[in-house]
Chain A
Amino acid sequence: MTAAVITAGLALGLFGCGAAGTGPAAGPNTRKEQSETPKESVIVVMGPSSEPESGFDPAYGWGAGEHVHEPLIQSTLTVTTADLKIGYDLAVEMETSGDGLVWTVKLRDDVKFSDGEPLTAEDVAFTYNTLRDTSSVNDFTMLKEAKALDEATVEFTLNRPYSIWPYTMAITGIVPEHAYGPDYGSHPIGSGRYLLKQWDKGQQVILEANPDYYGEAPKMKKVTILFMDEDAAYAAALSGQVDLAYTSAAFSEQTVPGFSLFSCETVDNRGFNLPATPAGETDENGVALGNDFTADIQVRRAINLAINREEMIEHVLNGHGTAAYSVCDKMPWYNPTAELSYDSELAVSLLEEAGWKPGADGIRERDGVRAAFQMLYPAGDSVRQALCEDTANQLAAVGIDVTVEGVGWDTAYDRAQSAPLMWGWGAHTPMELYNIYHTKPGGTYAEYSPYANEAVDALMDAALASNSLEESYELWKKAQWDGRTGITQAGDLPWIWLVNIDHLYWVKDGLKVADQKLHPHGHGWTIVNNVDQWVWE
């Protein structure tokens, strides 16, 4: 009797488990309901750091912040296209003066803000002048003044030539002059595809399609964004309560019933700087600059050769990544001569030639300098930590001793001036090349790692001063390698790039996420750039 009950119970239990494993019994029913009334809402989970702290105000980094994305609630003058060139949103025509200092943009005249007021050139000028004065997160210092010439024409006057101005215009949401104030961030009015319906700070943001949108009406009428930690996001997907949840390589080997893993290629790269000057100098704040080992160009080249990127991607990212050779892989301004293949033998012979001979403990040395450095990573970032450890393992094979250390961002910037730090970059603008490689205005070296090359600087300055984007792309490429000098393997190589990390998401079966552009750094809002085109099938 008892045995029978137990057996029955066991059988039930097993059956229950089996059913849960293959998808809950309720699954087909809910799907049926969906097919009767096509679902037009979606619930998306992002990390807690993606929640805009100061709200949806471009002046405080909404869209135009540290991690760039389309502002959704506001419209922008231009947009970046699928191949990361420039297309139009509010703009219909764009013109620059011969010296590149004056930009004239004509606007479409049928655009209204969600409160019914028309969007005019005055609003555009107001937006840009406000951002120039108040934006603390994005660089608008090149803008001298924005002026409305008539209802639908705006003129930007710049302080210095800035040929990639359209890339700034692509992330700057236009705010209404008549409805802009201190609480704009939490009550934004825009002319974009969506309206902010509700924002529960620390929990969720609900967006609703803008009925008066001037473009194609959004197919997804309601978008709910939840902010959760990675493990909570995974649990939310497991429970089936959300439609799309961000995740990382650490979770990629799991399976979630009713969901599949969606992987987006990115330019969200990880790489490290190699101080290109010998130790001894300090900057004006007394921060030590330079590193005796990495100051040797042959050493930097050998390190680049000794890194097996494919193996690293398998090890650290479970295969969810692509090899990176520059800060801007696959962008229109990327120079593919940066690519090289793993060759540890060549790396060893470069080191030998340069006089780095193995010492008693197998670590190379030259004139009393050990082939060793400390490698830093931001504490708490397990992916960067693993990349450092794998780099250390790979470099140990050619006789270089790397010690890995986690540091806080409070000291990381200063310490990176004399030791390699594992960075993450990748943006939809060539300005990133400038920020990393160009000598700091008024300084001796580049900002993040001591390095300077006048020829590279000159080419980047020329790129900024050029008259057309197409021409500037070529100059940006030349700044990376022009046949004689540059920042690639054959050039000075002050930075080494390892991987572009795929952005991973759990996507509920039936949800069709529209094609994605290469995602920039920041695993957040970028995924919903085109949420208006997502559909349920």
Chain B
Amino acid sequence: MTGTKKTGSRRLTMLVLLAFAVVFLGAVVWLGEIWQEEALVTDFTRKNLAPCQTHPFGTDWMGRDMFVRTVTGLSMSIRIGLLTACISAGIAFLMGLAAAVMGRLADGIIGMLIDLVLGIPHMLLLILISFACGRGFFGVVAGVSLTHWASLARLLRGEVLQLKESQYVKIAERLGKGRFYVAFWHMAPNLLPQFVTGLILLFPHAILHEASITFLGFGLSPEQPAVGNILSESMRYLVTGKWWLALFPGLLLVAAVLLFHYIGQTACRLIDPGSAHE
């Protein structure tokens, strides 16, 4: 009896924390949407202010409010992360499925593609693609989504190979169902837990990589409020003691990434049938 109660309360705590994380990130995205204009406002009469009541994160050398700017930047990061993680996961899903059901040749080609993408250092490939796509929003989205699908695709391919050997798939084949019917009706539902978890765990990667590439100057253009821009700008002023320019945006970025990671792991535990009784 007590055991069930404990299990129930743990699941409940997880759900509450999950809800909190989702609400927090949702609020960031929503505020960022509202503050889009405000994040660009410069006011030279209030430049270089340390954190105070009206500007909790201080202001920068052009008098931009760093709180508004950080939240907007993070919101932009999350949205880019969302978009790129979805595209990446979509590519991974199709690749993984195709590798397993479209025969040896397709499997070989996809395996090579996966090895190729995983073999090149991530950042390098990212910079290359983003630069080739003309940087900016499009460059970042293309760069991040075309580099993050490989490991998930490999995982899904493995799952599909396993499913192919299972009895009900074989029965379906004997009953004369086509490859694609089997793939989408019998296999896809079984891939869902891995897919959803993989998708959520892609977020933190995508967000961090978006920030890094912008930090290095190959991403979003420098007047846009993006965490990477904020951090690279702050480097110039750190030596003059303007610690708030780097600290708060950095902390918030880390917090967002950790929250996504937590959401991913929690979702994994909640969905995974094996841990249903924990």
Binary per-residue interface labels of chain B (226-239) against chain A in the complex, 1 for a CB within 8 Å, 0 otherwise:
00000001011111
Look across to chain B and name the residue whose beta carbon is closest to the beta carbon of A251.
B240
Chain A residues with CB under 8 A of B240: 231, 234, 250-251, 253-254
Q: Are B42 and A250 in contact (CB under 8 A)?
A: no
The reply to whether the CB of A316 lies closer than 8 angstroms to some CB of chain B is yes
Q: Are B238 and A231 in contact (CB under 8 A)?
A: yes
The reply to whether B61 and A382 contact each other, CB–CB distance below 8 Å, is yes
Contact A315 B236 (CB under 8 A): no
Given contacts A386-B62, A390-B42, contact A406 B222 (CB under 8 A): yes
Beta-carbon contact of B42 and A406 below 8 Å = no
A230 interfacial contact with B, CB 8 Å = yes
Name which of B223, B235, B237 has the most chain A CB atoms within 10 A of its CB. B223
Asked if B217 CB lies within 8 Å of chain A CBs, one says yes
Q: Are A250 and B61 in contact, CB atoms less than 8 angstroms apart?
A: yes
Residues on B with beta carbons closer than 8 Å to the beta carbon of A210: none
Closest chain-B Cβ to A275's Cβ sits at a distance in Å of: 21
Check: A513 CB closer than 8 A to any chain B CB.
no
A385 adjacent to B62 (CB under 8 Å): yes
B221 nearest CB across to chain A (Å): 5
B62→A231 contact, CB < 8 A: no
Confirm or deny: B47 has a beta carbon within 8 angstroms of a beta carbon on chain A: yes
A379 in contact (CB, < 8 A): yes
How far is A316 from B47 in the complex, measured between Cα atoms in Å? Answer: 10
Measuring CB to CB, which residues of chain B are less than 8 angstroms from any residue of chain A? Answer: 42-45, 47, 61-62, 217, 221-223, 233, 235-240
Quick check: is A393 within 8 A (CB to CB) of the other chain? yes
B222 A379 Cβ-Cβ under 8 A: yes
A404 to B237 alpha-carbon distance, docked (Å): 22
Q: Which of B44, B222, B223, B237 contacts A250 (CB 8 A)?
A: B237
Residues in B with CB closer than 8 Å to A316 are 44
Q: List 30 A-B contacts (CB under 8 A).
A: A230-B236, A231-B235, A231-B238, A231-B240, A234-B239, A250-B61, A250-B237, A250-B240, A251-B240, A314-B44, A315-B44, A316-B44, A380-B217, A382-B61, A382-B236, A385-B62, A385-B222, A385-B223, A386-B44, A389-B42, A389-B62, A390-B44, A393-B42, A393-B43, A393-B44, A405-B221, A405-B223, A406-B222, A406-B223, A407-B221
Distance in angstroms between the alpha carbons of A231 and B240 in the assembled complex = 8
Inter-subunit contact B42/A231 (CB<8 Å): no
SS class of chain A's interface: helix, strand, loop or mixed? helix
Which of these, A250, A379, A407, contacts B217 with CB under 8 Å?
A379
Nearest-CB residue, chain A, relative to B43: A393
Bound-state Cα–Cα, A392 to B47, Å: 16
For residue A235, CB closer than 8 A to chain B, the reply is: yes
Q: Please report A residues at the B interface, Cβ cutoff 8 Å.
A: 230-231, 234-235, 250-251, 253-254, 314-316, 379-380, 382, 385-386, 389-390, 392-393, 404-407
Q: Quick check: B236 and A250 within 8 Å, CB to CB?
A: yes
Complex formed: what's the CA distance from A231 to B242 in Å? 13
Residue of A nearest to B40 (CB): A404
If A380-B217, A382-B61, A386-B61 are given as contacts, then 6 extra A-B residue pairs at C-beta distance below 8 Å, sorted by A number, are A380-B222, A385-B62, A385-B223, A389-B42, A393-B42, A406-B221
- Shortest A147–chain B CB gap in Å is 49
Cβ of B39 to closest chain A Cβ, rounded Å:
13
Q: Which chain A positions have C-beta within 8 A of B62?
A: 385-386, 389
CB of A404 within 8 A of CB of B236, answer: no
| CA distance in complex: A373, B132 (Å) | 28
Tell me the complex Cα distance, A454–B237, Å: 48
What is the CB-to-nearest-CB distance from A400 to chain B, in angstroms, rounded to a whole number?
16
Contacts of A251 in B (CB 8 A): 240
State how many angstroms separate the Cβ of A499 from the closest Cβ of chain B. 14
Q: What is the bound-complex CA distance between A234 and B236, given in angstroms?
A: 11
Nearest CB of chain B from residue A236's CB, rounded to whole Å: 11
Cα separation A407 to B237 with both chains bound (whole Å): 22
Chain A contacts of B239 at CB under 8 A? 231, 234-235
Q: Which residue of A lies closest to B236 (CB)?
A: A231
Q: Which residue on chain B has the smallest CB distance to residue A229? A: B236
Closest to B48 in A: A253
CA of A393 to CA of B42 in the docked complex: distance in angstroms? 8
In the complex, chain A residues whose CB is within 8 Å of the CB of B217: 379-380
Nearest CB of chain B from residue A356's CB, rounded to whole Å = 23
Contact of B221 with A379 in the complex, beta carbons under 8 Å? yes
* Alpha-carbon separation in the docked complex, A390 to B62 (Å): 9
| The 6 residue pairs across chains A and B that have the minimum distance between CB atoms | A315-B44, A231-B239, A389-B42, A406-B222, A379-B222, A406-B221
CB-based nearest B residue for A388: B223
Report chain A residues within 8 Å CB of B222. 379-380, 385, 406
Query: Of B43, B44, B233, which contacts A382 at CB under 8 A?
Result: B233
Contacts of A231 in B (CB 8 A): 235-236, 238-240
Task: Give every chain A residue within 8 A of B61 (Cβ-Cβ).
Answer: 250, 382, 386
List the A residue with the shortest CB-CB distance to B45.
Answer: A315
A404 contact from B223, B235, B238, Cβ within 8 A: B223
Q: How far is the CA of A253 from the CA of B217 in the complex (A)?
A: 28
The chain A residue sitting closest to B232, CB to CB, is A380
Residues of B within 8 A of A235 (CB): 239
Chain A min CB distance to B16 (Å): 43
CB distance from B47 to the nearest CB of A (A): 7
Contacts of A407 in B (CB 8 A): 221
Contacts of B43 in A (CB 8 A): 393
CA distance in complex: A147, B217 (Å): 50
Measured in the bound complex, the distance between the Cα atoms of B238 and A61 in whole Å is 34
Report the Cα distance A445→B63, complex, angstroms: 39
Look across to chain A and name the residue whose beta carbon is closest to the beta carbon of B61.
A250
- Of B62, B217, B233, B235, which is in contact with the most chain A CB atoms at under 10 Å from its CB? B62
The CA-CA distance from A390 to B64 in the complex, in Å, is 12
In the complex, how many angstroms separate the beta carbon of A385 from the nearest chain B beta carbon?
Answer: 7
**A299, B239: Cα distance in complex, Å:** 42
A386 to B223, CA, bound (A): 10
Q: CB-nearest residue of chain A relative to B63?
A: A315
Q: A230 CA to B217 CA in the complex, in Å?
A: 18
Closest Cβ–Cβ distance, residue B245 to chain A (whole Å): 12
Q: Which residues of B contact A406 (CB under 8 A)?
A: 221-223
- The minimal Cβ–Cβ distance linking A384 to chain B, given in whole angstroms, is 11
Q: How far is the CA of A17 from the CA of B140 in the complex (A)?
A: 47
Determine the distance from Cα of A124 to Cα of B47 in the docked complex, in whole angstroms.
Answer: 53
Select from chain A the residue with minimum beta-carbon distance to B239: A231
Residues of A within 8 A of B42 (CB): 386, 389-390, 392-393
Report the minimal beta-carbon distance from A253 to chain B, rounded to whole angstroms: 8
Residue of B nearest to A379 (CB): B222
Task: Report A507 CB to chain B, min CB distance, Å.
Answer: 19
* Smallest Cβ-Cβ distance to A390: which chain B residue: B44
B236 to chain A: which residues have CB within 8 Å?
Answer: 230-231, 250, 382
